[in-house]
């Protein structure tokens, strides 16, 4: 079955990715011994929580057309498919290299880059009339994540 997604679907994925990101940082925080690194990772988890709220707010501002269902789905299979996409494409279950904060930040930057690539690909699956341009807002937020993580990484290398 071929799905056309709408902006609402993609914001649902974005919120799940933020939840996954927060879980990643909390797991990493629980694995490090250095209290300064642990505190930074907790702050990054909170940042992901806040981004989930940002995406929820953006999602609430979508128009009816951008929430239009594109397929008959009485069993809710599309929602399960979206969750599976979010869970396996970016912050999926993987071994976190906790040997240093630098390695954790590198993994996080890679995950953020992966999310941007994912959204760029999903952008093609959202017809213009269903809110394709809204994905640019998500991509812009994710680019901000990379800037912040890169700043932290560069600060740790000094």
Q: What is the pLDDT of residues 89-105, one digit of tens each?
A: 555 555 667 778 898 89
> Tokens 């809204």 identify what position?
134
CA distances (Å), origin 31, targets 4, 127, 155: 40, 42, 21
> Rounded distance, CA 134 to CA 122, Å?
11
Strongest mean pLDDT among 8-12, 41-45, 72-76, 85-89: 41-45
* Domain spans of the chain, in order of start: 7-65+76-157
Asked if residue 31 lies in contact with residue 98, where contact means CB atoms within 8 angstroms, the answer is: yes
Q: pTM for the full model?
A: 0.77
Q: pLDDT at position 132, please? A: 83
> pLDDT higher for 87 or 1?
87
> Rounded distance, CA 131 to CA 12, Å?
13
Q: pLDDT at position 120, please? A: 87
Coil, helix or strand at residue 131: coil
| Topology annotation, domain 7-65+76-157 | Ferritin (1.20.1260)
pLDDT in tens, 48-83: 999 899 889 988 988 888 887 766 666 666 667 666
CA-nearest of 8, 2, 4, 13 to 116 is 13
């Amino acid at each position: 079955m071929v799905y056309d997604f709408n902006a609402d679907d993609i914001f649902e994925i974005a919120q799940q990715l933020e939840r996954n990101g927060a879980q990643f940082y909390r797991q990493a925080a629980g694995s490090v011994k250095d209290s300064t690194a642990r505190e930074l990772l907790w702050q990054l988890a909170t940042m992901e929580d806040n981004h989930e709220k940002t995406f929820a707010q953006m999602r609430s501002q979508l128009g009816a057309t951008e929430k239009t269902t594109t397929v008959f789905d009485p069993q809710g299979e599309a929602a399960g498919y979206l969750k599976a996409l979010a869970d396996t494409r970016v912050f999926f279950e993987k071994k976190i290299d906790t040997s240093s904060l630098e390695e954790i930040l590198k993994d996080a930057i890679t995950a953020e880059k992966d999310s941007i690539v994912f959204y760029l690909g999903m952008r093609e699956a959202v017809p213009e009339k269903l809110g394709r341009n809204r994905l640019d807002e998500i991509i812009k937020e994710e680019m901000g994540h990379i800037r912040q993580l890169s700043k932290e990484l560069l600060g740790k290398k000094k």
